[in-house]
Chains A and B, each alone.
Chain A
Amino acid sequence: MEKLIIEAGKKSIVPNFKELFRYKDLFWTLSWRDFKVRYAQTTIGLLWAVLQPVVTIAILSIVFGRFVGVETDVPYLLYNVSGMAIWTYFSFVLSNSGNSIISAQGMVKKIYFPRLIIPLSKAVVGLIDLAIVILILIGLMIYYRVMPSANVWAAPLFILLSMIASLGAGIWLSALTVRFRDFQHVLPFIVQIGLYVTPIAYPAEFAMKSLPSWAAQIYFLNPMAGIIQGFRWSLFGGSAPDGYFWISVVMVFVLFISSLFYFRKVEDEMADFV
């Protein structure tokens, strides 16, 4: 017999993972719903998932590859696509999970389930987009005859890190948005700025060369800076991840773990505020 005690003012501040696990079917169902709605119902379905990153890549390649003339170890297009693969996934998950609670307010007001399921479920459907860009990436590597480096085994780890980073930021935003609607406007802003303060279209060495060392450390507080560098290292080799990289990794976990605690703190009053 299940027993539940609700007591005002008394609750654990630690996220309830046991309960979360009990609702795993809801997690998969919501992920699958997003997938269905995103790909199966639009007329040109998957094409939309391809179009957006391709256009961004094209523009960045023209601006940074041609106009600015950024020099990279591998062909510039390949360099750019490898960064965009991870960034597209990150920004997709961040945007969707950041808005997820507000979008699901109909449910939140009418039924109980661990609210964390909503932002978490957004991480799955983005993998489809990621897979598409990675296919493009592989195509380009074949075209340019670039062999993957010996570190390619680590690539999935960096994808996993970017998943954790995007969820961390997304969970923070989804919870903050419920209480402060202003964060709805912050979200696109973060995505836009992030595209430029992350080494996607240019090598991180550029930033490190032109910035004093304290500023470079701040640069790597952006968790995606280290992740994208690491992902490129896993694909193309080069210098192994250094101290700066570990700043980013620590940030990923700080962001994610703190988001779980903050979410837990405000979870119960969400229905009163959305």
Chain B
Amino acid sequence: MKNDIAIKLEGVSKKYTIGKEKDGSLRGTLASLFSKKSEKQEEFWALKDVSFEVKKGDVIGIIGRNGAGKSTLLKILSQITRPTEGKIEINGRVASLLEVGTGFHPELTGRENIFLNGTILGMTRKEVQSKFDEIVAFSGIEKFIDTPVKHYSSGMYVRLAFAVAAHLEPEILIIDEVLAVGDAEFQKKCLGKMKDVAGEGRTVLFVSHDLAAVKSLCTRGVLLKDGNLKINSNVTEVIDKYIINSNAQKDYYNADINDLKYSVISIEIKNYNNEINHNFSIQEDIYIDLKLNIPLKKENYTIFINVKTIQGVSVFSIEKPILSLNHILIINKQFLTRGIYTLDVFIHIPRQYQAFSLTNVCEFDVYDSDSELSVHGDYNYGVVFGNYIWQ
């Protein structure tokens, strides 16, 4: 084996079993001992036959849509879970950062948590001790270092947690989206620190939805789709391909509008800058730009839009009289949770006549890296954020 390779994956696959068996109850297991191969188990391949090599000093961005297998890949590389098939070779000491502040205990002070978190991340107490002052200075919370972290604001908490992580000195660093935390200024600081790390010739694997961050940080890119490796090339090429891929598939354009008197000419998903986009953070409004072809004010035509998840769960619908040929629907930020969404669109006179219909068009992704719920990772915490108050 050549010596300049940091990570080598050969045919790595990961299968999850979904179904009754997974609840892991004793009863279920006992029952299955007596019945012959009873319950149907749904198999799901989160990763399928992924092979690539990472050279030492490479800074690799791993991109792909929700559910493409990015997190699973990171979990396997950080040894949290084992692959179902395949082989991985890793040369060098690995540190993985799938969340900031793993193991932080609210009752302990900032100082104590630095030691706790540091050793959980794989440092020795001595290493933490030697970097302690640097960590505290980086976090900028010197004054509160002996206060229990339960009294910290969420911003301070994240600063301290990232400060510890930023002072890891592994040969290979694996990071999952943790940069998208804290205020803008601190994010810049984090990104700067990350660049330093990358500049020191260490190998970095970085997963993020933030294509700008990936572009500025990484030299190479890996694109995953439905658990398969799509492309492994330099980062600009991978990002371009990703954008082209997603744009080509997702917007809706009607080729032969002249044939239909009542039709949707186009639907484009855009961000607040009026740019076509299919990846939204939960902090962004989503603009759905519809252009229609319809004789106005002739009859009581309405447009009906149903926003659904990719799994087919209807999230909400809108019925609106058609008063102009151009409609922009804005879905407010902090409404849809992480997931892939799609649209059904109809032009009709309600309960009488359907003039035009589209189903499952305009897929777009919503990603979540900074809501309070995002800490739950892959757990399905609902389709929308609750609209509630505590009293």
Contacts and interface: CB of A to CB of B under 8 A. Distances in A.
Nearest to A4: B90
Interface residues of B, number: 48
A167 B193 CA distance: 42
Nearest to A178: B24
A272 interface: yes
Contacts of B115: 29
Interface string A12-26: 000000000001011
Contacts of B68: none
Interface string A31-51: 001001100010000000000
Contacts of B22: 273
A2 B102 contact: no
A3 B91 contact: yes
A109 B80 contact: yes
B16 A272 contact: yes
Contact of B84 (A2, A8, A180): A8
A263 to B, nearest CB: 15
Contacts of B54: none
A273 B156 CA distance: 32
B86 interface: yes
Given A2-B92, A8-B86, A110-B98, A26 B80 contact: no
A269 interface: yes
A137 to B, nearest CB: 31
Contacts, number: 115
A111 B121 CA distance: 7
Interface in B363-391: 377
Interface stretch (B71-79, B197-205, B221-229): B71-79
Contact of A110 (B24, B99, B125): B99
Interface stretch (B34-42, B105-113, B253-261): B105-113
A95 to B, nearest CB: 19
Contacts of A11: 82
A8 B105 contact: no
A112 interface: yes
Nearest to A267: B82
Contact of A6 (B27, B83, B96, B105): B83
B98 A26 contact: no
Interface string A93-132: 0000000000000111111110000000000000000000
Interface in A157-214: 178-183
B326 interface: no
B376 to A, nearest CB: 10
A118 to B, nearest CB: 11
Nearest to B115: A29
B147 interface: no
Contacts of A3: 89-91
Contacts of B25: 180-182
A6 B87 contact: yes
Given A33-B105, A106-B103, A272-B81, A5 B89 contact: yes
B116 interface: yes
Interface in A228-268: 268
Contacts of A178: 24
A112 B78 contact: yes
Interface of A: 1-9, 11, 23, 25-26, 28-30, 33, 36-37, 41, 106-113, 178-183, 268-269, 271-273
Interface of B: 12-13, 16, 22, 24-27, 29, 75-76, 78-94, 96, 98-99, 102-103, 105, 107-108, 112, 115-116, 119-125, 171, 377
